[in-house]
A and B are shown apart, each in its own frame.
Chain A
């Protein structure tokens, strides 16, 4: 027999009467599917377990019976029933721990302890946060991943693979239109796979590598506690820091992880901000690459997106009813990450990501092909050209916004192509980058939003995001023109 915890007298009395009551109702709909013992179910009822009580409430008679038992017990106790129960367990646990756990030496301040202090002390912690973001995100992912790596892989792809593909297709497929499906400017291999492999993958890989490192070292919870106050102003808590940082890698993954947030309100705000103002790695990586030569343009883009993130968060928090959940988080010890674990994790995430986006990129190529063949695309592009012109863009960018609908990063990658041709001014680049960042999330993220938040909420968010993105683009363009700024 296993040892049971004995609770205070009034609680044991309540358990006894509830146990009898449960045993009598064991076959009812309420308890039939439960595997727990009657004693355990009685304790759950006494602790006001939300799901058991909501089931119980369907029958007012039953509900009253249980409530009476609970009230009788409560009146005899000094503390609330659930606190009394927890205390008894805790005392028993502590007693048992003192029997079975021996501390042989006093722990002295170790290196990890010193490091921990360094990460959470405001005087050192905030500068450290900035340093990590600068080197980890900007230098490593931005300059190395999105700059160096993309340049090389892209250069190799365009220089070595595309000509061969074009040549082979030209030889084996006699029809020009079918050749265009596979090769040439918009082909599956020359455009779809090239975007995925040469532009998106290097950025995402470097970001996930960096994220895994932060994850395994135990730094992320420390980041959460450092940023809790800032996030509170947006109706979120420090808990939302992890999804947001993950969102800078992949918004789809991040939307799924918003599940760890406590209140529905927090989850809605986090999902909304992720889809509006948190660009994924592929997207900001490409944008960083685009704007790298123009530091002022980069500052305008970064500053504006951050400002929108904070302002929209602040306003949403004011408008949405309810309060933000409290912040509590265990802070695990700092650990030296194991290289193997980091590589495995990065690999798994990349694999997931790659297989998630590759079909979309291929489909996009196919749609573009069909669209161009039937002239449908021309029509749509014609249709959005005035819109594009309104935000000061050359007509060549219209397709980019159309592609951006398939995936935000696909749009960004298209922008990359146009910029390579030298068609855009600094102002136009900034406006396009801003609109594409704010614009609709990719299809995968939309699916995840519907799954996690429901169709209605998702539609409401989309209905806000699309006009907002273009309106912001319009305002920025107007502002820059009026001020006579040339970035």
Chain B
């Protein structure tokens, strides 16, 4: 188990910058998810922690020890790859046993640890199978056993669930979480799936273009995004973003002028779809229903308003509106997020009171 510190860690290939200088501290036993779109540098960061890539700048420390120059094989790290990367010519037992081969573990202890790791992830029936003879979910479990058998001080998961079907993903999510709690191993999960990140991890690190945009709990990222990117990346269906201009105590968005204070210049308003409500015409913004998407537990409407087209999420499967209906759109003013357009930062001090549209 280890406390992991990254100090100004950077990686570039020639002129191509994959990870900008980055600071991050992960506490002993913590489960952290690195979340971001593909190409944001999250896997590169993971591979630097594993020792597969050498950082081009900064320091990586495990429990205070600098490991920049420590080779992958000497770091005692377990890793599960997106493709599982099981050795195709080895049986499950040999795959799980492989990391012990290089640690000088006595044969009887190795056998015991292999069966223990297999039992942990419920693959003890499959020990004689080859990887090609197993389903994706089974291979994934074996990969997990192989990563855990050496009792690593750090467990790295690189998109481990993205090749599984939806039901299995749900099961594995809970199972990995349960395992991590039980073993108490410091764990870093890399994913592009926000649900995965927020359900499994204690803290989520949101990355974009090689940079950490925000670190926080699921609530922090959703309710209080620091940056426009975080607001737009987190949340499904995505947040409504509207360009506006703040001048002399008002914000102008489209045809509407709204009173506001403490801000000046170009801004972006963010409104989560579930914070908007539909009501009879005449209340709130004048709207017209463009599309209706039943999502089962809730219904997503796209509504044309004077502010542009807005996504509105209503709880319940009952569809009160049909395409073409006229409706009002109501906005509770405390749910608005305001970002400075140039810096893309959230303006925390700004307050805005949205008047009922005339």
Partners in one complex: no
Give the interface of A toward B (CB within 8 A). none
Give the interface of B toward A (CB within 8 A). none
